[in-house]
Structure 1
Amino acid sequence: MRKELHEANRLSWNEATRAHNSHKGDQAKFFREGGSTLFAEEKELLGTIAGLSLVHLQCNAGQDTLSLARLGATVTGIDISDEAIAFAQQLSAQSGIPATFYRADLFDWFESNLQQGRRFDVVFSSYGAICWLSNLNLWAKGIASVLSPQGRLVMVEFHPVAMIFDEDWNHVFPYFANGQPMSWDDGVGDYVAESELGLAPDYQDGIEQFQNPYPSHEFQWSIGDILTALLEAGLTLKVFKEYPYSNGWKPFKQMQEGSNRQMFPPPDKPNLPLMYGLVAQK
Structure 2
Amino acid sequence: MTDDYRALNKANWDERAPAHAASPDYYVDRFLREADFVSDVVRFDQPRLGDIRGLRTVHLQCHIGTDTLSLARLGAEVTGLDFSPASLAQARQLAERAGTPIEFVESDVYDARTALGASGFDLVYTGIGALCWLPSVRRWAETVAGLLRPGGRLFLREGHPVLWATDETHTEALVLGYPYFELAEPMVFADQGTYVETDAEFTATTTHEWNHGLGEIVTALLDAGLTLTGLTEHTSVPWNALPGQMKRGDDGEWRLSAHSERLPLSYTLQAGKPA
Equivalent residue for 1:267?
Answer: 258
**CA distance, structure 2, for counterparts of residue 263 and residue 29 of structure 1:** 21
Equivalent residue for 1:224?
Answer: 215
Equivalent residue for 2:85?
Answer: 82
Q: Is 1:50–1:72's contact at 8 Å kept on the other side of the alignment? A: yes
Normalised to the residue count of structure 2, the TM-score between the two structures is 0.89
**CA distance, structure 1, for counterparts of residue 267 and residue 157 of structure 2:** 6
Gaps (5+ residues) in structure 2? none
Equivalent residue for 1:49?
Answer: 52
Gaps (5+ residues) in structure 1? 194-206
Q: Is 1:154–1:279's contact at 8 Å kept on the other side of the alignment? A: yes
**% same residue:** 37
- CA gap of 1:107–1:177, structure 2 versus 1, over 3 A, is closer
User: What is the aligned counterpart of 2:94 among 81, 88, 91?
Assistant: 91
The 5 A counterparts of 1:171-250 are 171-186=176-191, 189-193=193-197, 207-208=198-199, 210-247=201-238, 249-250=239-240
Q: Is 2:22–2:28's contact at 8 Å kept on the other side of the alignment? A: no
Q: Is 2:84–2:106's contact at 8 Å kept on the other side of the alignment? A: yes
Cα displacement (A) at 1:268: 6.3
Normalised to the residue count of structure 1, the TM-score between the two structures is 0.87
Q: Is 1:240–1:277's contact at 8 Å kept on the other side of the alignment? A: yes
Equivalent residue for 1:204?
Answer: none
- CA gap of 1:29–1:240, structure 2 versus 1, over 3 A, is closer
**CA distance, structure 2, for counterparts of residue 91 and residue 235 of structure 1:** 33
**CA distance, structure 2, for counterparts of residue 108 and residue 22 of structure 1:** 29
Cα displacement (A) at 1:32: 4.7
Q: Is 1:2–1:134's contact at 8 Å kept on the other side of the alignment? A: no
- CA gap of 1:185–1:26, structure 2 versus 1, over 3 A, is closer
Note the alpha carbon deviations across 1:183-204, whole angstroms, 9 max, x for none: 11226x42112xxxxxxxxxxx
Equivalent residue for 1:198?
Answer: none
Equivalent residue for 2:10?
Answer: 10
Cα displacement (A) at 1:262: 1.8
Note the alpha carbon deviations across 1:139-178, whole angstroms, 9 max, x for none: 1111111101110000000001011222223321121242
Cα displacement (A) at 1:33: 1.8
Note the alpha carbon deviations across 1:214-244, whole angstroms, 9 max, x for none: 4111011000110000000000000000001
Note the alpha carbon deviations across 1:106-141, whole angstroms, 9 max, x for none: 112223434xx4600000001000011112111111
Q: What do you get for the CA RMSD once the two structures are aligned?
A: 2.0
